[in-house]
Amino acid sequence: MKYCIRYYLLFFLSAPLIFSDEITASQSFANGGMVVTQHYLATQIGKDVLDQGGNAYDAAVAVGFAMAVVLPRAGNIGGGGFMVMYDAVSGDSSSIDYREKAPLLSSRDMYLDQNNEFDSLKSTVGYLSVGVPGTVYGLWEVHQKYGSLPWSDLLQPSIVLAERGFEMSNYMIKTLKRYKPKLSYFEESNKIFFEGTQELSSKILVQTDLSKTLKRIQKFGVKDFYEGETANMIALEMTKNGGLISLDDLKKYRPIWREPVKGDYRGKEIITMGPPSSGGLHLIQMLNILENFDLNMYEHNSPDYIALLSEIMKYAYADRSKYLGDPDFFDVPTFEIVNKSYAKRIYQEILKNPQKSAEQILPGQLLFDESNETTHFSIADQFGNVISNTYTLNSAYGSGVTISGTGILMNNEMDDFSGAPGVPNQFNLIGGIANEIVPEKRPLSSMTPTIIFDNGSPLMAVGSPGGSRIITTVLQMILNVIDFSMDINEATSASRIHHQWYPDRIDIEKSNINTESLIDMGYEINLIDPATCTQSIYFEDNMFIGSGDLRRPDSLALGVSK
């Protein structure tokens, strides 16, 4: 790894990093490991770690910090997320929840105005929308438990990227221009992303303050971010600007190792994230229902197939609205939701009533006896370890707030709580008491990092950004591979649909899908631009096949050869 770091230093001392915009490779084959991320520079850094003998956990740490530099709209150290892991040595699967938490001074009605109406601006933009970040602690915990290379070495490439600069792709410049009104409202964010690049006339992005922060984290680990100089800078800025995060919040933060949620579908084992992510439970719930149908009778993305998926999605998202929240604060009925007998009842209801409106599918029918700008990466190493990780700032560029002197863009995850019962958040997701704001509680999420096994061996690692569409995207990836026998590239490229109970409509990516027949069937159709971006690895015959979803053109898969 020392050789790798020296290479980076020599390269960056000569010039800012230049990388071609013309990246067409969406698939990679290798026999010694695979890294798939939403940004080519982060992918290269992860590959370099594996090349130098590091394991998947080392690569995940390096990639996680690199994304905070090169993908600031979603990669982060000011946000949080979930990681699902398979450890080849123990043969066990595990997951870590490093989701953000509500500050100690937060309260259930903090976003209601004087007329008791929900103020969505307060929950999405600015200091009051920020939850206590978990990414640094989450990556630290993973490294402490499984890492093999020095922590300081894994952060060095990201420090150099921030300090020396890199050339922004056309896609990154496009997103910065789109979100300029939000970012330029905050002086520090405006200085970094616009003044420093002469209103984007220069494509080189240098993040000096972020490099200094990363150096402190490199030297002092989590101590700096949660108790040291960086913690003090965060708390001071929050106090000055009406934010709620205090030093006590940062000192008390800890990620949680949680048992992953497990299911099976047509003989394949599904390992995915449990609450406070809703993704895993409802992914398995929908697979359980679909297992009762012979999908060989359906043409892929035919009107009948899309109608079937939509009906199943309605039931899952209706249950999500009532039953999902932080399991440390609310008794989530995990067993009941993923129970195959419950799925059978829904299947029988669909047979009797194959098309129900959202109003007819009420949350609570089960019987007891989240911005599209999340990001995902998948990594597998030569030792057999597999990682599926999804983390986020929530909506693009989070709250818009950059903490002065740190370069840290902060999340707006407080919007993922139910700010008011029955009021949808920015993703039109409705929540209730299970997800109301409580100090130190973690907000509900749709993130769905998933690993699939066949006869005890990894078959596929998959996940995606996309807010509320993440769960249905991962579902369709699994169906494409298992039921429709697509290779991972075909599965990635196939058009996607989404239904989330409310609003009562089917979102369909603009494509050649026959929408007229669906309209004739009585469905409301909403044609959308691509909103998701899977980063997947498929395992076949001792080969790693990586697929980077070019719906977001900076994605890249790179393999490692033995």
CA angle in degrees (0–180, nearest 5) for 57-59-65: 105
**In Å, how far are 58, 101, 254, 345 from 140, measured between CA atoms?**
10, 17, 11, 43
Between CA 20 and CA 27 the distance in angstroms is: 17
Using the structure block, give the residue that is written with the tokens 């490294």.
Answer: 143
Between CA 19 and CA 27 the distance in angstroms is: 18
Catalytic residue among 43, 197, 374, 472: 374
Whether 241 contacts 127, CB under 8 Å = yes
Tokens of 385: 């370890």
Cα–Cα nearest to 204, from 166, 169, 175, 171: 166
Ramachandran sector of residue 449 (left: φ over 0; alpha: ψ -120 to 50; beta: rest) = beta
Enumerate the β-bridge partners of residue 460: 452, 538
Between CA 313 and CA 504 the distance in angstroms is: 11
Whether 272 contacts 450, CB under 8 Å = yes
Overall residue count recorded for the chain in this entry: 562
Enumerate the β-bridge partners of residue 272: 261, 450
Using the structure block, give the residue that is written with the tokens 């398995």.
Answer: 284
Peptide bond into 363 cis (omega under 30): no
CA angle in degrees (0–180, nearest 5) for 260-261-262: 110
In this structure, the strands spanning 497-498 and 543-548 are unpaired
Enumerate the β-bridge partners of residue 376: 390
Q: Within 165-278, where are the H helices?
A: 170-178, 180-184, 187-193, 208-220, 222-227, 229-240, 247-252
Ramachandran sector of residue 198 (left: φ over 0; alpha: ψ -120 to 50; beta: rest) = left
Cα–Cα nearest to 269, from 460, 82, 97: 460
Strands (E), 404-484: 408-409, 450-454, 457-462
Catalytic site includes residue 272? no
- Any idea which residues carry the catalytic annotation? 374
